[in-house]
Amino acid sequence: MVNRAVIRAVWAAAFLLAPFYAPAQDNLTTVDQRAYDISVDMEQQRIGPINFLGLTIPEEFPVRLNLTISNKVSLDVCGNMFEGEGKGGTFAAASDAVTVTAGEVCSVVERYTINIDIDSLLVSAELAFQHEETWNWTPEHTGTYRFSMNGKLVDGKFEMTGDAAGSVAQAVVGTTAVLDLKTTRALPPDDFAVVDGKFTATLNRTAEMTLLTPPIPPEDLNEDGRVDTSDLVLIARDFGKTGANLTGDLTGDGAVDIADLVYAAVRFSNAGGAQAPALRVGGARLWLVESRLPSGMLRVDIKARSPAAVAAFDIELDYDAAAWELAAARSGGRLPSAAAIPIRSKAGTARLAGVSIPLGVPERLDRPLASFWFRPLTQEASVGSVRWRGGQLSGLDARRIPVGSLSSVPHMYRDRPFIGRSYPNPFNPEVWIPFELLEPSPVRVSIYASNGRLARVLDLGRLPAGLYLQPGRAAHWDGRNALGEPMGSGLYFYRIEAGGTSRVGRMLMVK
């Protein structure tokens, strides 16, 4: 049986280790961003025959070319080919499913073709520039991916030299451009112009590899698609063992211990956790019982009636965060050796998971599964604000126990309202007497000297239901008698009547 020191260590580990084992946001999309400098020389071209009304075109004759730009991209991803098209300098492509294996290097080949259609009064032509890039991608997960890519050409420049020369630049390559040239020699009728060309630009492109079939996380030990109490049971089976290839060794340190329990439990939130189950006829019954403690705190016990032995639980509650704050959450004793793990949640949600270690310790069926304590933030904090968010149970076979009902017993007040002890005690000269009212009621406090003589009556009138605990709210005596005269040091008695009950206490004034 696990001793109390180990159980306390699990509680501490949930807070100390949780930041290191916080639920990882599995990045199922790998993003690769690159900038390629493209510089492509055009093969020498013979354009013609050129005929301008049968006239010879003189040297330095202006020629305007209208350019229409388009492109294609061809991708080879791990041997899978696909293509895309774009307008101007904008590229886009997306693949169908690509199946890969984690850790295996995958070659990616990008082939870009930039097409420029030339149109003018003198000539029409088509030019094509090509650029290729190769890189390696190593997938983190085995599965089916979709590969997509988009890019844009910027700082583009197209220039021609030879029998006609000129250039045009664009900050962002568009679908059209105008290239103004001048001839460098006279061109007789029906002659051919011989030109060279060059295209330069920067291609900014983003590739995304998105996993379409999410991997099974290591903490989902039974591979049922969720991390829950059943996985805690599987860890508990190996708890305390050391060696290689242990099922419950999630941290990979060769031992199954507290860290592995925390590793799994803090990932409940990303795997369904204690989501409200689909209730089943004949399943386990879970209910919560609220009770107000003499200190003013609220205790919530989670009780269960199950058709099978319970080995693990996961309880999640909602509460009014404006009126209460969570003070503690612990195993309630039904599982005598339970390692309970508080799971950090946002304000207004309290969550606790636990598993019996070792498995098979007889349950104490009269004890709660779990207990939560809440501290009041306001005097008006009332019972009945805690509600179910979800609950799960798992048996010794590491299978979920179907839940048949979730219910509440929200108003488990004591038969009498709480009346506390005066404070401070000893006092000089002021003292406060805390109390609560379960319903609107008159409140009266009588102060007696040690000889039994009545020294002062404090009639607080009819007050609304609520807590009257702190200075300014609790009953107050300033150490004076009915005539306003200071009373001397000594023992005094008080009798407070509130909400149909009364209490007698004693207090010592020391000056």
pLDDT tops 60 at residue 509: yes
Of the pLDDT bands very low, low, confident and very high (cuts 50, 70, 90), residue 412 is very low
Q: List the end-to-end C-alpha distance of the chain, in Å, as a whole number.
A: 55
pLDDT of 15-52, one tens digit each? 444 444 444 434 467 788 889 898 888 778 787 777 77
- pLDDT, residue 123, reads 66
For residues 91 and 150, the answer to whether their CB atoms sit within 8 Å is: yes
Quick one: pLDDT band at residue 215, thresholds 50, 70, 90? low
467, 462, 382: which is closest to 418 by C-alpha? 467
Whether residue 103 contacts residue 114, with contact meaning beta carbons closer than 8 Å, is answered with no
* 3-state DSSP of 69-125: EEEEEEEEECCEEEEEEEECCEEEEEEEEEEECCCCCEEEEEEEEEEEEEECCCCEE
Question: Across-strand partners of 287?
Answer: 303, 407
Structure confidence at residue 187 as a pLDDT band (50, 70, 90): confident
Give the dihedral sign, CA 440/441/442/445: negative
Which pLDDT score is estimated for 122?
Answer: 65
What Cα–Cα distance (Å) separates residue 5 from each residue in 8, 10, 96, 344? 5, 9, 55, 22
pLDDT at 271: 34
For the chain, give the percent of residues with pLDDT over 70: 88
Q: Virtual CA dihedral for 495, 496, 502, 508, nearest 10 degrees?
A: -50
Task: Please write the tens of the pLDDT for every residue from 79-120.
Answer: 888 888 888 888 888 887 888 887 888 899 988 888 888 887
Selected residue with higher pLDDT from 185 and 407: 185
Q: Average pLDDT over the chain, rounded to whole?
A: 82
Q: In order of start, what are the domains of the chain with their CATH numbers?
A: 1-26+217-413 (2.60.40.680), 34-211 (no CATH), 431-509 (2.60.40.4070)
Least confident of 194-203, 278-287, 349-358: 278-287
Which pLDDT value is given to residue 18?
43
Predicted confidence band of residue 417 (pLDDT cuts 50, 70, 90): low
**Looking at this protein, which amino acid is placed at residue 10?**
V
This prediction has a pTM of 0.47
* Mean pLDDT to the nearest integer, 372-396: 87
